Structure 1
Amino acid sequence: MQNALYELTAAQLTEGYRTKKITPVEATQACLDRIADLNPVINAFCLVDEAAALAQAEQSTARWQTNTPLGPLDGVPVSIKDLLLTKDWPTRRGSKVIPAEGDWSEDSPPVARIRDAGGILLGKTTTPEFAAKGVTDSPLTGATRNPWDITRTPGGSSGGAAAAVASGMGPLALGTDAGGSLRIPAAMCGLFTIKPTGGRVPSYPPTPYGSFAASGPISWSVEDAAILLTVLSGDDWRDGSALPLDSMDYANGLNQDLRRLRIGWSPDLGFARPQTAVLDAAEKALGQLEALGHLVEKVSAPFDNPTNTYEDLRAGMTVAAFARMGDAQFAQMDPALVAHIQESRSNANLASYLAADSARTEICRQMRQFHTEFDLLLTPALACTTFEVGIDGPMGMAESRHWSPYTFPFNLTRQPAVTLPCGMDPNGLPLAIQVVGPLYSEMLLLQFSRQYERAYPWNRARATPRLPE
């Protein structure tokens, strides 16, 4: 192997295991060493279990030595966002109000699938408190930094997951997305992600935000994301809304030739205000897609402005999610989250929630109609590039709906969406496009993304080893 082990993709690692050039123990130790070197600076992990990871790696090495791997993920180091139950590890969700002591005896469905597939669980990655905002800092774990520039945020709420992958602390990360929480940090860290169709990856325990949410991979490559999504997908008896198991192998057929696709390009969705650098990079990507043979057509807004619909639904969900919390808990929590909870309690009501739910149904209908004419929808991933760590938004875009207006609509519609790196801003920071497909079109999105990746491969971040003086 030419590259350092921590630079290899999951697919490259498993090929190395198959040919006996490397072992899961060696790869896991390389990631653990990288974590030891860089996590004090990046702060991507809030928990690392070196002993457990190496024990799993020993078991995987034994399987590979006898050519009996559990599957394409066997021996691959994976990190888990600290929002997902993980057996024997506390899941504190970035909050001091959740004690480390407790009955941590169960894996959430996606974690269980990774474990059953032989993935090596490295530890838990940071999240803002209760994953409630689009940057990653919390009273419990402090601020997480972007490996491209450690004075900048990696985004959120799966910011620790993205920062870990971008800095080489592991090739794959499991995150969640209820408003952009996979796509935002992937875009800010120059990585690939796919938010699958709602219900594609089963979830447990239930949450009021469940109809918005999806779990999915963050990775360096499309192939790696396809491998992990294959493992994650399917039914689980604990999730009554999970889609049936379809036995789809998303990594198989990635390089299949695509027919000419008709792609609708919306630079603003009718309400966003993207920065010039964002539009410049996206429009360059349009030309690249046309060079690949696809038909790209600028479209008007495919739906009515969904901001109020999302916010009214979110307010009702927030009241339900934090119903048992009061002043004692609020004193330990992120003031911005406390303010949102209190505002939701003041403004949310049954009538506004039901009206928003009806409006959501109409937005879903409008997108279904859009896809009768267009195979895919293309937008910028974000309205801006990454900004300074420690703030919730750049100047003039204080709230995430201003700088991340493109992601949350597709949590409303439950549609699958990917983030594709497409260049750099004038400061050398990553920019990305978002591609949205019809419901259940993960295979098409992955094939499309792989075609783009092969034609226009993106660079990978290299973490700065120390803070500036």
Structure 2
Amino acid sequence: MKNELFKLTAKNLIRLYQRKKTNPTEVVLNIIDQLDKKNQKFNAFVDYDKEKILQQAKLSSKRWMTGEIKGALDGIPISIKDLLITKDYHTRRGSFVESLPISSDKNAPVVKKVLDKGAIILGKTTTPEFGHKGTTQSIRYGSTLNPWNTDLNAGGSSGGSAAAVAAGLGPLSLGTDGGGSVRIPCSFCGLFGHKPTFGRVPAYPISPFGTVANIGPISRTVEDGALLMNVIASSDKDDWYSLPNENINYSEINFDNIRNMRIGVFKHWGMKKFFNEISLDNEINLVFEDILSEIKKKGLLLDMSSKICWPNNPADIFKTIWYIGAANLSKKINKEELHKIDKNFLHFIDEGNKFSVFDFLNAEAKRAENSSYLSYLFEHFDVLIGPTMPVLPFDHSEVIPKNFNDKDLFSWTPFTYPFNLTKNPSSTINCGFSKSGLPIGIQVVAPIYEDKTCFLISAYLEKIFSLTNIWPKFI
């Protein structure tokens, strides 16, 4: 078993620590061995330091020996997306730009929280430049590959984090989600990922993209995601948006009343009318129908007759906010360095500079209308489900699937960003595979502030389909 400690979940590692069957030092030595063997193949990590990892592990091992553990994550290896600031590692944001701060004298609130509970930081994971797209090709570090098929991309922008967890390079990771950047790669890599209600998990510094950006857990299992969520979901003085502390334990899951829950099923999430070609990949459609059939057999109440009719096009709103965010970030970069930036992000900057403050305020007003509409929809439902993605993972060199005529970078990710706009919590959980063995995720969306409902439904789906012990053949 010692040769496969890297495959154990965080909760199982804790159980073994408690029984003194292994210790954090043994675990990280096994993971470091995997990092050395696999990271060059998958390009999940941009930076890791073996000595720093081992030093943390030895201290944790001593705490477990003396019974003086720091908290719920003591001895648990975790990776950090390279958009989150860290004291012990540079934060380069996938960019060659040097005029933005690279080093920091403090940790992001979520990093501080996991360290305070004893977690072992493995290093920083790959992101496309500034996390600007749904695939992870970094102009600085190259493409992150999908552990399920290394010809394909891992999704993005938290693709490095998702590939790391899917490849067994640590059971947990902290990702960011500004338009789907946790849910997209978790769907592509067969994982659980959660975008919290905005403000539930604190962020510092504030994202240049404003209030669409979130930080969330990435894990193989819902149980592990809940363990991490319990640690990071608390207020912080560095984030003036952070919500008051809540007395919720995400690990306490009770299925007793699940058959009384009203579940709305939305295959296209109300987005089909806004796109010329937003149809589900045929394999996703077939698997989704099978998933619904299995859910029905369990006696759950599914409503497949209702529709989402957004008052305003979420794509237009999102692009306005995202482009303005890109232009906002560019003001902090020396003009002499702009030529170093990814051409797609330069396009975002150019588009963002065309908007006025009135355009931004108008987009925010339309965003509020959509959010209000969704709140009224939740008078009829307790939770919504549907496919996380309309497409399967595609070639790692591409930023848009080849069969898409629309070359808009947001054309193939329309199911995720509407809920960044409305601030609703949403998760993805792997519920099936294509004929070629690629994961297919289901998105779970709950009323605002009701993050635990996402964990409840995701855990139930995880229980039904029992896929968490299936590993990529490359591992």
Question: Which residue of structure 2 lines up, in the alignment, with residue 279 of structure 1?
Answer: 285
Q: Which digits, 9 at most, give the CA deviation of each residue in 1:105-130, with x for residues without a partner? A: 11000000011010000000000000
Distance (whole Å) between structure 2 residues aligned to residue 23 and residue 376 of structure 1: 40
> Gaps spanning 5+ residues in structure 2: where?
273-277
Q: Name which of 424, 437, 442 aligns with 2:433.
A: 424
Question: Which residue of structure 1 lines up, in the alignment, with residue 463 of structure 2?
Answer: 454
Question: Which residue of structure 1 lines up, in the alignment, with residue 443 of structure 2?
Answer: 434
Q: Name which of 327, 335, 339 aligns with 1:331.
A: 339
Distance (whole Å) between structure 2 residues aligned to residue 102 and residue 337 of structure 1: 19
Question: Which residue of structure 1 lines up, in the alignment, with residue 316 of structure 2?
Answer: 308
Moved over 6 A (4+): none
Distance (whole Å) between structure 1 residues aligned to residue 219 and residue 316 of structure 2: 32
AA at the equivalent of 1:276: N
Counterpart mapping for 1:274-423 below 5 A: 274-298=280-304, 299-304=306-311, 305-325=313-333, 327-345=335-353, 347-397=354-404, 398-423=407-432
AA at the equivalent of 1:377: L
Residues 388 and 394, structure 1, Cα contact 8 Å, conserved in 2: yes
Residues 92 and 99, structure 1, Cα contact 8 Å, conserved in 2: no
Residues 136 and 158, structure 1, Cα contact 8 Å, conserved in 2: yes
TM-score, normalised on structure 2? 0.94
Distance (whole Å) between structure 1 residues aligned to residue 170 and residue 149 of structure 2: 19
Secondary structure of the residue aligned to 1:331 is: helix
Q: Percent identity?
A: 37
Secondary structure of the residue aligned to 1:211 is: helix
> Gaps spanning 5+ residues in structure 1: where?
none
Residues 71 and 116, structure 2, Cα contact 8 Å, conserved in 1: no
Distance (whole Å) between structure 2 residues aligned to residue 164 and residue 54 of structure 1: 18
Q: How far does residue 100 in structure 1 lie from its aligned partner after superposition?
A: 9.9
Secondary structure of the residue aligned to 2:121 is: strand
Indicate yes or no: 2:9 matched with 1:42: no
Distance (whole Å) between structure 2 residues aligned to residue 217 and residue 409 of structure 1: 20
Q: How far does residue 102 in structure 1 lie from its aligned partner after superposition?
A: 5.1
RMSD: 1.8
TM-score, normalised on structure 1? 0.95
Distance (whole Å) between structure 1 residues aligned to residue 2 and residue 290 of structure 2: 32
Q: How far does residue 261 in structure 1 lie from its aligned partner after superposition?
A: 1.3
Q: Which digits, 9 at most, give the CA deviation of each residue in 1:12-44, with x for residues without a partner? A: 000000000000001111111111000011000
Distance (whole Å) between structure 2 residues aligned to residue 301 and residue 228 of structure 1: 32
Q: Which shows bigger deviation, 285-294 or 172-181?
A: 285-294
Question: Which residue of structure 1 lines up, in the alignment, with residue 144 of structure 2?
Answer: 144
Question: Which residue of structure 2 lines up, in the alignment, with residue 159 of structure 1?
Answer: 159
Q: Which digits, 9 at most, give the CA deviation of each residue in 1:344-374, with x for residues without a partner? A: 21x3122221211110010000100010001
Distance (whole Å) between structure 1 residues aligned to residue 327 and residue 100 of structure 2: 25
AA at the equivalent of 1:168: G
Counterpart mapping for 1:237-256 below 5 A: 237-253=237-253
Counterpart mapping for 1:66-105 below 5 A: 66-98=66-98, 103-105=103-105
Mark the CA change 1:235 to 1:256 in structure 2 (over 3 Å): closer, same or farther: farther
Q: Which shows bigger deviation, 301-310 or 18-27?
A: 301-310
Distance (whole Å) between structure 1 residues aligned to residue 17 and residue 152 of structure 2: 36
Residues 99 and 334, structure 2, Cα contact 8 Å, conserved in 1: no
Distance (whole Å) between structure 2 residues aligned to residue 252 and residue 263 of structure 1: 21
Mark the CA change 1:102 to 1:323 in structure 2 (over 3 Å): closer, same or farther: closer
Q: Which digits, 9 at most, give the CA deviation of each residue in 1:103-155, with x for residues without a partner? A: 42110000000110100000000000000011001121011100001010000
Question: Which residue of structure 1 lines up, in the alignment, with residue 19 of structure 2?
Answer: 19
Secondary structure of the residue aligned to 2:400 is: coil
Secondary structure of the residue aligned to 1:4 is: helix
Q: Which shows bigger deviation, 324-333 or 411-420?
A: 324-333
AA at the equivalent of 2:375: R
Q: How far does residue 442 in structure 1 lie from its aligned partner after superposition?
A: 1.5
Residues 191 and 220, structure 1, Cα contact 8 Å, conserved in 2: yes
Q: Which shows bigger deviation, 427-436 or 119-128?
A: 427-436
Question: Which residue of structure 1 lines up, in the alignment, with residue 269 of structure 2?
Answer: 269
Residues 57 and 75, structure 1, Cα contact 8 Å, conserved in 2: yes
Q: How far does residue 463 in structure 1 lie from its aligned partner after superposition?
A: 5.9
Q: How far does residue 302 in structure 1 lie from its aligned partner after superposition?
A: 4.2
Distance (whole Å) between structure 2 residues aligned to residue 25 and residue 53 of structure 1: 9
Mark the CA change 1:254 to 1:222 in structure 2 (over 3 Å): closer, same or farther: farther
Residues 90 and 100, structure 1, Cα contact 8 Å, conserved in 2: no
Q: Which shows bigger deviation, 71-80 or 222-231?
A: 71-80
Residues 153 and 389, structure 1, Cα contact 8 Å, conserved in 2: yes
Residues 89 and 103, structure 2, Cα contact 8 Å, conserved in 1: no
Q: Which digits, 9 at most, give the CA deviation of each residue in 1:247-285, with x for residues without a partner? A: 422112356653421111111123242211111122221
Residues 426 and 445, structure 2, Cα contact 8 Å, conserved in 1: yes
AA at the equivalent of 1:301: I
Residues 2 and 30, structure 2, Cα contact 8 Å, conserved in 1: no
